[in-house]
Structure 1
Amino acid sequence: MHRLSSPTTLVGVDVWDGHDHLGPHEVTWGPHGSGSAPDAVVTELGAVGPSAAFAGLSLIPGLIDTHVHLIGNAGGAASGFLTWPLVTPPTEQVLHGLAHARRALAGGVTTLRDLSADEVQFSLARAVEAGLVEAPRLLAHGMVSMTGGHGDMFVPPGVDPRLRKPTADGVDACRALVRAHARAGATGIKIATSGGLLSDGDKPSWRNHTTAEIDAIVDEAHALGLLVAAHAHTDEGIRIALRAGVDSLEHATQLDGVLAGEVVEAGLPVAPTLLINDAIADGSVPVTAEQQEAARALVVDRDAGFRAAADAGVDFVLGTDANGFHVRFGDQMAELRRMGEVLGWSAARVLEAGTSRAAVAIGRGARAGSESAKPGSGSGSGSGSTVVSASGGPVLGRIAVGAAADFVLLRGRPWLDVDALDPANIVAVVARGRVVAGSLPTA
């Protein structure tokens, strides 16, 4: 993958900027920064008349999936979800992770956040940043799990201990594992404040870590500038995560209108992971009877609770829990459409969940007070200065001067009709300023 060497301009394309429909605009993007990493930002954005070349097409920001698991068999196998990582060396796993990432890219996803990363994902993320491979931007969170916790139980108990992922028991060990992940290249930390569905022998109701251990993990992560994402299915798990001061909630399956006020007050984004829990509950993917029963018990009141939470102002964002086995990479638009159904949202609000709001959730939205962060502020021209996110890189999930040049050109108006959010409608995907799928029309 090579750096973008010269500016590119689209004239008269209909733009939705991550917050608002701007109408036909001239959009120019060009190289940004120095070094080997291929990147580009929007340098000019101004209103013009519509172009016949883009009739019926729209330009939206690239999608951001805030919760995935890249490492798994990308070959389409229908079995072996738990055993495949145990019999596949890391050198081979990284190739499957890249295949998954590229499928997401072709589906309009230009940024992924892996929430159970180790040296495989850290290595892949560095290769992406260095421009060695073509894939979405990759943020990788290392997991801190206790012995017998949700993260630990993806490896069956009889497996050689040398094949198990690292765990942490006790306050000092929890701090040490956070530090080890940070040293290895993690961009964040994941914890579990409840049990899970797919880990072997796990139960959603089980506590994970003590209060003191969780406090140590969150404190150490924040001291190192790392966001903390909390896996929490149950209402108790949600309360534990809220009390600990985490930065996002993953699943939050028992969230309801009562808990919603606390989540809104804390300003926490929630990734609802609808498709995967639906699939486990209805048995449309390979799961055990126990897993299906546990999922059914969790989702029976989920939709009504989520709708009440959405009405209360909870900031749900795109997070699929895609692993290539239960949810495919490339299903992100289907997840967004399902969010619209469950949450009762307009098409525009659904689209925000997968772009500008998802960017804020992962620390890549505009800094507070930035003009570029405000709705309707994307028009105008500029010299290419960067709109900086809270993490220091170009803003994602927006089409604005200085924001990252990550776009999807597709047929239809997805901010008016959520059904237009379909990979079949994609005409081109641009990531870091380069066309990585399809092609851009020419006048």
Structure 2
Amino acid sequence: MSHETPMQRLDGIALWDGTAARGAGSISWQDGTIVEVAEGPADAAGAMAEYSIIPGLVDTHVHLGGYAGKGSVDWVSWPLITPGEERALHIAANAQRAARAGVTTLRDLAGDKHQLAVSRAFESGVLEGPRVLVHGQVGMTAGHGDLFTPPHYPHREPVADSPDECRKLVRQWARQGAHGVKIYTSGGVLSMGDKVGWRNQTNEEIATTVDEAHALGMPVAAHTHSTEGVDIALAQGADSLEHGTGIVAKHWPTLVERNIPVAPTLLINDAIADGRIKISAEAQEKAKSVVEERNKNFDGAGAAGVRFVLGTDANGFMVAFGDQMEEVRLMAAMFEWTPARALVSATSDAADAVGLGDTVGQLKAGFGADFIVIKGRPWENIADLRIENIAAVVSRGRVIAGSLPV
């Protein structure tokens, strides 16, 4: 008895394949995989004229572990007092919410066994959901990753305070099946009592973490807000920069030569700095400083070819799982990109940045059937890239939001 699903197909619809417009054409898919993408006439017509298809978005920097229910909770204490089994359900719900908003691949950059369990459940089809990659943290006592836990609370995530401890923690993440690790080369905005300019770990500790991660085939994402932090991340061989506030012109040649992706996380820092979300005065003041430095430092970086990719820091509280399209529009404005260039940063290039460049991010035979049917032509007008314009989202070959136009 065959378990194959029937072939599905859309004809006569405008296609943007993750790198370029393909005119009107057709796309067919089966069992979660694109079978064929065929070009047709230059323009779509009839019932399909208002629609187009683009690949599902790829968010390279999220945090799925927050509260996903109705109403509100204290975002700091909720993860600490809620059992892991219950939190896993919220992780799945947050990921599914993002997928329904067109984000069909997510990378969680501070995950643990719960995110990994949800990722495996989605991958095996136990639950319907997007593709989820998970990086485990390797940070120090009193580092950015550690300072989300109040000082007198007895339960904390593991930390590493020597090169040997760093190597061991990387190996523990590898044993759990993590897709990569995250390090810190500066302090952060939301961590309690933290300072953005604080050093996080010694060069020897960071070098050991990067060495062991690479030996085990795991990429290293480096959180950094300071210029010194960027210096350290580049010197020690980090594979991506998260936030990248301290990037200055001297870094541009190295970033371009190594083709290192940078997730700029614009929306969250703007929202905190502007007071659009309820947050501590300490965090707001830090965010104001970060935004001021970022705006100065990022001026000209996009034109210089620095590889900015979609990364929102979405956590469901400051940035919702569904705000990714707004982030792409902000990136287009910040870096003075064409709409098509902005879409590349959120699809094919973001997929490549997380190691899935041969799997998702493009409309191409053999790739995963992850795409959005949307009103308008967002590669011509980035304002068309809005949730309210989504007609349907296809994830792993299944329609998970809306309905396919006929």
Q: Which of 360, 367, 373 matches 1:403?
A: 367
Give the match's secondary structure for 2:302: helix
- Listed one character per residue, the Cα deviations across residues 244-274 of structure 1 (whole Å, up to 9, x for unaligned) are 1111000001223332222212211000000
Relative to the length of structure 1, the TM-score reads: 0.89
Selected match of 1:205 from 185, 197, 205: 197
The CA deviation at 1:5 is 1.3
Segments of 4+ moved more than 4 angstroms: 76-79
Q: Is the 8 A contact 1:4 1:433 kept in 2?
A: no
Alignment-derived partner of residue 315 in structure 2 = 323
Q: Secondary structure at the match of 2:183?
A: strand
Deviations 1:112-164 (A, max 9, x none): 0000010110110110111011111000001111111111111010101xx20
- Name the SS for the 1:309 alignment partner: coil
- In the TM superposition, 1:130-149 aligns within 5 A as 130-149=124-143
2:280 matched to which residue of 1?
288
1:89-168 matches, within 5 Å, as: 89-160=83-154, 163-168=155-160
| 2:327 match: secondary structure | helix
1:319-363 residue CA offsets vs partner (Å, 9 max, x unmatched): 000001111100000110111111111100111111001011101
Q: 2:183 aligns with which of 187, 191, 216?
A: 191
CA contact (8 A) 1:76 1:325 kept: no
**Contact 1:81-1:325 within 8 A present in 2 as well:** yes
Q: CA deviation at 1:76?
A: 4.7
The alignment status of 1:306 with 2:270, answered yes or no, reads no
Query: Which is further off, 418-427 or 96-105?
Result: 96-105
Correspondence for 1:6: 6
| 1:78–1:286 contact (8 Å) kept in structure 2 | no
Give the superposition deviation at 1:291.
1.2
Equivalent residue letter for 2:354:
I
Amino acid paired to 1:167: V
Q: Go from structure 1 to structure 2 and tell me whether the alpha carbon gap of 1:198 and 1:11 turns closer, same or farther (over 3 Å shift).
A: same
Q: Distance in 2 between matches of 1:138 and 1:349?
A: 24
Q: In 2, distance between residues paired with 1:26 and 1:415?
A: 18
Give 3-state SS (helix, strand or coil) of 2:400's partner. strand
Cα RMSD over matched residues?
1.2
1:241-260 equivalences in 2 (<5 Å)? 241-260=233-252
Distance 2:76 2:229 in 1: 24
User: Per-residue CA shift, 1:26-61, capped at 9, x if unaligned?
Assistant: 211112xxxxxxxx2211121224352311101000
2:393 aligns with one of 429, 432, 436? 429
**Aligned match of 1:35:** none
Following TM superposition, by how much is the alpha carbon of 1:295 offset from its aligned partner in structure 2, in angstroms? 1.2
Q: Does 1:232 align with 2:232?
A: no
Superposed CA offset, 1:219-246 (max 9, x none) = 1111111111000011111111000111
What is the aligned residue count? 402
Question: Which TM-score applies when normalising by structure 2?
Answer: 0.97
Paired AA for residue 258 in structure 2: A
Q: Distance in 1 between matches of 2:387 and 2:161?
A: 44
Q: Equivalents in 2 of 1:4, 1:196: separation in Å?
A: 48
Letter in 2 for 1:307: D
Q: In 1, distance between residues paired with 2:228 and 2:4?
A: 49
- Correspondence 1:212-223 to 2 at 5 A: 212-223=204-215
SS of structure 2 residue aligned to 1:364: coil
Q: Structure 2: which amino acid aligns with 1:175?
A: R
Cα distance in 2 between the residues matched to 1:28 and 1:355 = 19
Counterpart in the other structure of 1:369: none
1:277 to partner: Cα distance: 0.5
